[in-house]
Structure formats: structure tokens, C-alpha cells
Chain A
Amino acid sequence: MPYIQLPEGIPGILGPMAFRPETAKPLNELAEILLRGSSTLSRAERELIATSVSAQNDCFFCQTIHGAVAAHHLGGDEKLVLEVKQSPENAPVSDKLKALLAIAGKVQRGGKSVQPADIDRARRQGATDGEMHDTVLIAAAFCMYNRYVDGLATWAPADPAAYREAGARLATEGYISSTQGLSAAR
């Protein structure tokens, strides 16, 4: 049971967002810019970074919904998403993405964990300053979203299949409209 009174049946982060729409707005805008805005990293790559960090933070809701969004961007490749979660260094993704996932993993532990060697590795694989900035901020932001979702003990459906449709909708329509109509449900 959630630690505060949230609308029933609304999963994960959507409950707190319905509770406090004022903070939902910048939270959604941040996600929209970082995960879907114009970037040299593909949407799939960015959602994989978010999913990987959420898995490392052991946040079931976030890793499952963003894993579903990533899979949708990858044409339904749920297996690849699982492989990235389980072992980013061995997954069939580019060496550049592996280097960025390694940076994200360091950020998950703490900002100071990121070493010059991690940055050098990413640069050698062709990562730009913008890509490294966004990787760090995506990882940092998911350390926030994961704590928000679990810190209030929100409810999440257990069956990963339940997230496919929502994942597809987020992938196509984005994060800004994801909470519209929720406040009305309050």
C-alpha cells in the first residue's frame, strides 16, 4: 500500500503525479526532452540507459515500463532489453552504447564514481560531449524517478505483459500527454 493517499488502480509514478500535478509537469518535460527530444542518440538508446539504471536501482515499475518503451523503439525486441539489463557489456549493442551504459552505471552509484577513464572510453568510441552530458543526466534523473516511485511504495502490476500497451503509447505519444486526464480522475 502506498505511503500516502493516492488514486486507486493507477500504477507506479502516475499515482504521485496525479496527487501533485504541479511537480508532474517539470518531471514529464524533463523525461520528454531527455528521452525523446532531438539528439544524436536514438530514442531506443536513451530508453535503454534509463532501463539499465532503473534495473540497477531495483525499481520494478520504472525498469519494466521503460523497458517496454525501449522494446517498442526496437521493433519489439524484448530479448535485447533483457540482455542489456542483465549484462550490458555482453549485449549486442554498439561499443559506444556499452561505454555510455558503463558511465550510467557509475552515476547510479554516485556522481564521483565516474572516472576520467570512463569518459575516455566513451570518447574513443565516438561519444560526443552532448551524448555524455545526456547519459549522465538521464542516469541521474532515473535515480530520482526510481526513488520517487519506490519511496512512496506505489503499486505496480506484476505482469510485464501489462506494460506493453502503455510502453507503445509512451513511445509514440511521449511523456507530456501521459498524465493528462489523470487529475480529472482524482
Chain B
Amino acid sequence: MAHIPLTEGLPGIRGLFAFRPETAHPLCELAEILLHTPGTLTPAERELIATYVSSQNDCYYCQTSHGAIAARHLGGNDQLVLDVKRDFERAQVSEKLKALLAIAGKVQLGGRNVQPADIERARRQGATDQEIHDTVLIAAAFCMYNRYVDGLATWAPPDPAAYRERAATVARDGYLSIPANIEAARRAAEV
């Protein structure tokens, strides 16, 4: 049971967005820019970073929802998502993404854990300043989202299949329409 009363039928962060719509807006805008808006890192790469950090933080809802979105961007490759979570150094991803995932893993432990050697490794693999910046901010942001979701003990559907439909919508449309959709769901639940 969640630590505060939340709308039924809205799992994970969705129930929290319904509880406090004002903060939902910047939280969704941040996710949109970091994970969906076109950039030199693909949405798949960025969702993999988010998924990896969420699994390091042991947040089931976040790693499963973002893992489903990543898989969607990867044409349904659930196995690759699992491989990245388990052992990204051996996963079938680029050397640059491995270097960025290593940075993200250090950020998850704490900002000061990032060492010059981690940055140099990423640069040797061709990572730009913006890609390094965004990797650090994605990792930092998911240390926030994960704590938000678990800190209030929100409910997460246990079956990964339950996340696929919404993942397809988010992979296609991004995060900006989420607050409005949640508000509509909240009102419908009140009736």
C-alpha cells in the first residue's frame, strides 16, 4: 500500500502525477527533453541509460516501464535490455554506450564517484560534451524518479507484459501529453 492515498488504477509514478499535477509538468518536460527529443544519442540509447540506472536503484516500476520503452525503440529486443541490465560491458551495444553506461553507474553511486578516467574513456569512444552532460543528467534524474516512486511505496504491476502497450505510446509520442492524460484518468476514476 502506498504511503499516501493515491488514485486507484494508476500505478507507479502515474498515481503520483495525479496527486500533484503541478510537479508532474516539469517532471514530464525533463523526461521529454532527456529521453525523447532528437539528439545525437538515440532514444533507445537514452532509455537504456535510464533503465540501467533504475535497475541499479532496484526500482521495479521504473526499470520495467523504461525497459519496455527501450525495447520498443529497439524493435522489440527485450533480450538486449535484459543483457544491459545484467552486464552492459558484455551486451551487444556500442563501445561508446558502454562508456556512457559506466558513467551513469558511477553517478548512481554518487556524483563524486565519476572519475576523470571514466570521462576519458567516453571521449576516446567519441562521446561529445553534450552526450556526457545528458548521460550524467539522465542518471541523476532517474535517481530522483526512482526515489519518488519507491519512497512513497507506489504499486507496480508485476507482469512485464502490462507495460508494453503504454511503452509503445510513449516511444511514439513522448512524455509531454502524460500530465493531461493522467488528469483525465484521475477524473474518470472519481466518477
User: How would you classify the secondary structure of chain A's contact residues: helix, strand, loop or mixed?
Assistant: helix
Interface string of B102-124 (1 = CB under 8 A from A): 01001100111010100100000
Q: Which of A41-49, A67-75, A110-118 contacts B (4 or more CB under 8 A)?
A: A110-118
Q: Which of B5, B133, B146, B148 makes the CB contact (< 8 A) with A129?
A: B5
Give residues 7-33 of A contacting B (CB, 8 Å). 16, 19-20, 22-23, 25-27, 29-30, 33
Q: Among B29, B107, B111, which residue has the most Cβ atoms of chain A within 10 A?
A: B111
List of B residues within 8 angstroms of A112 by Cβ: 58, 150
A148 touches B119 (CB 8 A): no
Q: A4-B133, A26-B29 are contacts. A146–B111 as well, Cβ < 8 Å?
A: yes
Q: A20-B133, A133-B16, A137-B23 are contacts. A107–B147 as well, Cβ < 8 Å?
A: yes
Give residues 145-179 of A contacting B (CB, 8 Å). 145-153
List of A residues within 8 angstroms of B116 by Cβ: 3
A110 touches B57 (CB 8 A): yes
User: How would you classify the secondary structure of chain B's contact residues: helix, strand, loop or mixed?
Assistant: helix
List of B residues within 8 angstroms of A144 by Cβ: 140-141, 143-144
B141 touches A114 (CB 8 A): no
Q: A30-B23, A37-B22 are contacts. A143–B153 as well, Cβ < 8 Å?
A: no
List of A residues within 8 angstroms of B58 by Cβ: 110, 112
List of A residues within 8 angstroms of B23 by Cβ: 30, 33-34, 137
Tell yes or no: B25 within 8 A of A by CB.
Answer: yes
A143 touches B144 (CB 8 A): yes
Tell yes or no: A5 within 8 A of B by CB.
Answer: yes
Tell yes or no: A182 within 8 A of B by CB.
Answer: no
Tell yes or no: B139 within 8 A of A by CB.
Answer: yes
Tell yes or no: B136 within 8 A of A by CB.
Answer: yes
B110 touches A23 (CB 8 A): no
Interface residues on chain B, number (Cβ under 8 Å): 49
Q: A26-B33, A30-B26, A132-B4 are contacts. A140–B136 as well, Cβ < 8 Å?
A: no
Q: A110-B57, A112-B58 are contacts. A140–B145 as well, Cβ < 8 Å?
A: yes
Tell yes or no: A80 within 8 A of B by CB.
Answer: no
Q: How far is the CA of A51 from the CA of B40 in the complex (A)?
A: 35
Tell yes or no: B90 within 8 A of A by CB.
Answer: no
B59 touches A20 (CB 8 A): no
B34 touches A23 (CB 8 A): yes
List of A residues within 8 angstroms of B144 by Cβ: 140-141, 143-144
Q: A111-B147, A129-B5 are contacts. A151–B129 as well, Cβ < 8 Å?
A: no
Q: A132-B4, A145-B140, A147-B143 are contacts. A26–B59 as well, Cβ < 8 Å?
A: no
Residues in B lying within 8 Å of A, measured CB to CB? 3-5, 16, 19-20, 22-23, 25-27, 29-30, 33-34, 37, 57-59, 103, 106-107, 110-112, 114, 116, 119, 129-130, 132-134, 136-137, 139-141, 143-153
Across the A-B interface, the 7 shortest Cβ-Cβ residue pairs:
A111-B150, A150-B111, A144-B144, A140-B147, A147-B140, A26-B26, A111-B151
What are 9 residue pairs bridging A and B, where the CB atoms are less than 8 Å apart in the complex?
A29-B25, A30-B30, A114-B151, A129-B4, A132-B3, A136-B148, A143-B140, A147-B111, A151-B111
